[in-house]
Structure 1
Amino acid sequence: MIVSKGRAPTSGETLTQIVRAPELRDRVLITLGLLLFVRLGAYVWIPGLDVVRLQAGFTGGQLAGLLSIFTGGSPGGLFTLGILPFINASIIMQLLTAALPSLETLQKDEGEAGRRKLAQITRYVSLGWAILQGVGFSVYLRGFSNGTIEGGLFIASTALALVTGSMVVMWISEVITERGIGQGASLVIFLNIAAALPNTLNSTIQLAQRGKLVGIVVTLLVSLLMVVAIVAVQEGSRRIPIVSAKRQVGRPGLLADRQTYLPLKLIAGGVMPIIFASSVMFLPQFLAQSTGNPALATAAGYLSPGSSLPWVYGAAFFLLIFGFSFFYTSIMVNPVELATNLRRQGVAVPGVRPGSSTAAYLSALINRLTVLGGAFLGLIAIIPNIISGLTGIPVLQGLGSTSLLILVGVAIDTAKQVQARVISQRYEGMVRQ
């Protein structure tokens, strides 16, 4: 995308445009309504469960902390699996697309039809993952049965409910992406994390009552610094000046006051590397709880925030975020396509020959930016673990820091999409006049 300098709409202008523009207002209302439905569905309890005993046994566990990112802390609800199978399926499909030429052709060469085929395949993979995770979690939930449904019937009915709920959430996320505002899957995760914030605040208040005010102040300062850091990472970009061949040959002074550039983001994938890394870190805990295998439980223990060897968890989480930053950037940004589009539009990077030379230049620059962005994002995610260990307050430990990063990142991405639609509506109004 080529960008020229211009003033972004203010918050007041954005709200005014949302109220006045029917299409934009409808998109906002659709998004809010569907997110409310997802939240309510989390409290539709699966039949046959002893809800009180389940909530008591689930509170404070490592699996509970992991699952709260994707479910909002409702372990026995219809939407317990939430968007997790879809996230896992997306990771698998992106890996397969990079490995299989046929899928890569669908993505790059067949346009919108190819993307629709990939989306349909992703849905089928999501269904398969939902069935596997639904059955596994049903085996775990069998220990919290109230006795009205027993044995295999309990597992079958619970798995069916979980799979159905997951498919509904996946459909809702797609509707939000297509007809609402923002990226549907990210907003569902944002909602679930936000729903768990009151419990986090309550635990912080309890710690304050025990006299750990100094530690809480330190933790709050760390939270503030994390917000600033994630905003810097999300907003950070390298602006590549570009010039038009016509402007160079013709009348250079005519548009001198409008500098045009190609922005390359520090992290092209935004908050998605953190979401993907969190879903991968979730799997060992999920498998250990579902199967009851001692070996899996031991391995999962090392990969949990409360591990006796916290550096193992920190290193694994950092490497996953760093790796997914590279992987997602390779999918989102194609330097060859960028160079081709620049050439077709008759623009070039000063001092770089159009075509393959521009592609090589952009590729090297994107790799350097991703190294910096991925490393910075990974460090932001694991440094709070160290701070929490020093203060003795686990509010930001492990997945607490991840949740904060996702909240801020998704909020920034959604705000940008709203602003982009406001600007689009403004230009459409100018054209009609």
Structure 2
Amino acid sequence: MVVSRDKSPTAQETFMQMAQAAGLRGRLLVTIGLLILVRLGVYIPVPNVDLERFNQEVQNSPVIGFLDVFSGGGLSLLGIFALGILPFINASIIMQLLTAALPSLENLQKNEGEAGRRKISQITRYVALGWAALQSVMLTTWIQAYAYEPGPLFFVETVLAFTAGSMFVMWVSELITERGIGNGASLLIFVNIVAVLPTVLGDTIEVAQQGGREAIAKVVILLLAFLVMIVGIVFVQEGTRRIPIISARRQVGRRLYRERTNYLPLRLNQGGVMPIIFASAVLFLPASLAQFTQGKTGFLGQLNDIFVPVSNAIRMDGPTPWIYILVFFTLIVFFSYFYASLIVNPVDMSQNLKKMGSSIPGIRPGKATSEYLERVINRLTFLGAVFLGVVAIVPTAVESAMGIQTLRGLGSTSLLILVGVAIDTAKQIQTYVISQRYEGMVKE
């Protein structure tokens, strides 16, 4: 995609369009209404469960606390939307991995156009349904110990409630993407994290008040670390390498169009927040399985004997935290390169530039251009991956060093999601405002 230089809309113009333009105002109202609807569903609990005993268990589990942040408290409340958008996110991850591995799916995505993308979306929904059912079975098996009347009926009803709730949330996310503003799945995670912020901040302030000057100093250091990370996230998320592009001269009728110089923007962080989400999911998998198999006998008990040592080894607060840092950093680098390979294809970019009659100064079209772009992308991906690794580890390390456990998993991953989604949504609103500006110029 070649971008020409254009003036971005001012904040005043953006807010005026949001208030006056019927199209943008309608999209914003649809988005806000659907987000409120999903938040209300979080507070509708499944029946026949002792929530007080269950909440005590959740507070003592760092794994459930981490997942509870992404469900907006729905997991600790055991609402019908307890699984939230996570099954759909997991299904999307699985489909992206399969698309890169299976030629048939890759052909659907690249060569079948809109029909192929719709087919992949339909397959993703079916995978999300199966994943939601599997997670519902695991969650229901776990919470049966807290049920007033456990049994087959309770099991079936609860599994159906969790699965149906997750599918409803998936439908709402697609509706937001289609008729609202921003990416629906990302916005739902954003709202869930924001919903947990008041409780987390309140608990942290309470710890600071009760602990005296030393606790206040620790909280201040932690907040400063988070602020520095936010500035760094914004800087790198917005960072691009602009490669100059020259368009060849062309003649239309009697008019001769001169060479034009544009640029090809390559983002420093191609994968956005997805590499750190992938890495977190892989790290938390042994801990989640250890939590699920805890206290079980037979085959599940044998699995627990395997997962517990692995979980303890890679915990940040475990006996060897450097293993956690090394594994987490390696996974982030791996998934950063993996995601960059999915999003940016140097060969396709080179071919598109050649078809458009454009070229990079000093680089021959064709294979030389694709090799040059690949070198640049690899360097940018490495820098972006190192940045993601630092952002992921530093806040968590500071939190562990300060001994503050009130954040309940609200760390670097949540920071990246909050900042990244806010930037992407703001850009989409600005794009809509620019389109409205040009429509007004055409009408005049």
Q: TM-score, normalised by structure 1?
A: 0.93
Distance, in Å, in 2 between the alignment partners of 1:335 and 1:27 is 35
Distance, in Å, in 2 between the alignment partners of 1:334 and 1:341 is 11
Instruction: Establish whether residue 373 from structure 1 lines up as the match of residue 375 from structure 2.
Output: no
CA offsets per residue over residues 275-300 of structure 1, 9 Å max, x none? Answer: 33333334333322223243223323
Distance, in Å, in 1 between the alignment partners of 2:53 and 2:157 is 19
Shift of 1:311: 2.3
Shift of 1:195: 1.0
1:187 aligns with 187
CA offsets per residue over residues 224-274 of structure 1, 9 Å max, x none? Answer: 1000111111001100010111179x675x86xxx5111000112222222
2:18 aligns with 18
CA offsets per residue over residues 329-363 of structure 1, 9 Å max, x none? Answer: 21111212211221222211111112222112111
CA offsets per residue over residues 299-320 of structure 1, 9 Å max, x none? Answer: 2333444433322332332222
Paired AA for residue 429 in structure 1: G
2:219 aligns with 216
Counterpart of 2:237 (choices 217, 223, 234) is 234
Distance, in Å, in 2 between the alignment partners of 1:171 and 1:214 is 45
Counterpart of 1:98 (choices 88, 100, 103) is 100
Distance, in Å, in 2 between the alignment partners of 1:282 and 1:23 is 42
Distance, in Å, in 2 between the alignment partners of 1:213 and 1:415 is 34
The more displaced of 121-130 and 321-330 is: 321-330
Contact 1:80/1:162 (CA < 8 Å) preserved in 2? yes
Contact 1:190/1:406 (CA < 8 Å) preserved in 2? yes
Distance, in Å, in 1 between the alignment partners of 2:172 and 2:120 is 18
Instruction: Establish whether residue 65 from structure 1 lines up as the match of residue 65 from structure 2.
Output: yes
Paired residue secondary structure (1:307): coil
Distance, in Å, in 1 between the alignment partners of 2:93 and 2:164 is 21
Paired residue secondary structure (1:242): strand
Taking a change above 3 Å as real, the CA distance of residues 373 and 401 of structure 1, as seen in their structure-2 partners, is same
Shift of 1:399: 4.5
Contact 2:187/2:421 (CA < 8 Å) preserved in 1? yes
Contact 2:312/2:318 (CA < 8 Å) preserved in 1? yes
Counterpart of 1:331 (choices 330, 336, 342) is 342
Paired AA for residue 409 in structure 1: G
Contact 1:274/1:406 (CA < 8 Å) preserved in 2? no
Taking a change above 3 Å as real, the CA distance of residues 69 and 332 of structure 1, as seen in their structure-2 partners, is farther
Contact 1:384/1:396 (CA < 8 Å) preserved in 2? no
Contact 2:69/2:409 (CA < 8 Å) preserved in 1? no
Taking a change above 3 Å as real, the CA distance of residues 378 and 68 of structure 1, as seen in their structure-2 partners, is same
The more displaced of 133-142 and 310-319 is: 310-319
Paired AA for residue 88 in structure 2: F
Distance, in Å, in 2 between the alignment partners of 1:5 and 1:186 is 29
Contact 1:270/1:413 (CA < 8 Å) preserved in 2? no
Paired AA for residue 82 in structure 1: G
CA offsets per residue over residues 151-170 of structure 1, 9 Å max, x none? Answer: 22222211111111111111
Taking a change above 3 Å as real, the CA distance of residues 360 and 193 of structure 1, as seen in their structure-2 partners, is same
Contact 1:38/1:169 (CA < 8 Å) preserved in 2? yes
2:278 aligns with 276
Paired residue secondary structure (2:221): helix
Taking a change above 3 Å as real, the CA distance of residues 141 and 397 of structure 1, as seen in their structure-2 partners, is closer
Q: TM-score, normalised by structure 2?
A: 0.91
Instruction: Establish whether residue 358 from structure 1 lines up as the match of residue 369 from structure 2.
Output: yes
Contact 1:173/1:188 (CA < 8 Å) preserved in 2? yes
2:199 aligns with 199
Contact 1:84/1:279 (CA < 8 Å) preserved in 2? no
Paired AA for residue 330 in structure 2: L
Taking a change above 3 Å as real, the CA distance of residues 358 and 103 of structure 1, as seen in their structure-2 partners, is same
Taking a change above 3 Å as real, the CA distance of residues 12 and 302 of structure 1, as seen in their structure-2 partners, is farther
Counterpart of 1:412 (choices 411, 418, 423) is 423
Alignment gaps of 5+ in structure 2: 295-300
Instruction: Establish whether residue 423 from structure 1 lines up as the match of residue 421 from structure 2.
Output: no
Counterpart of 2:265 (choices 263, 266, 276) is 263
Contact 2:317/2:400 (CA < 8 Å) preserved in 1? no
Paired AA for residue 130 in structure 2: G
| Number of equivalences | 427
Superposed counterparts of 1:4-403, under 5 Å: 4-75=4-75, 76-147=78-149, 150-209=150-209, 210-211=211-212, 212-246=215-249, 259-292=261-294, 293=301, 294-295=304-305, 296-394=307-405, 399-403=410-414
2:298 aligns with none
Distance, in Å, in 2 between the alignment partners of 1:54 and 1:101 is 46
Q: Percent identity?
A: 55
Shift of 1:130: 0.9
Contact 1:277/1:317 (CA < 8 Å) preserved in 2? yes
Contact 2:200/2:408 (CA < 8 Å) preserved in 1? no
Taking a change above 3 Å as real, the CA distance of residues 83 and 280 of structure 1, as seen in their structure-2 partners, is farther
Alignment gaps of 5+ in structure 1: none
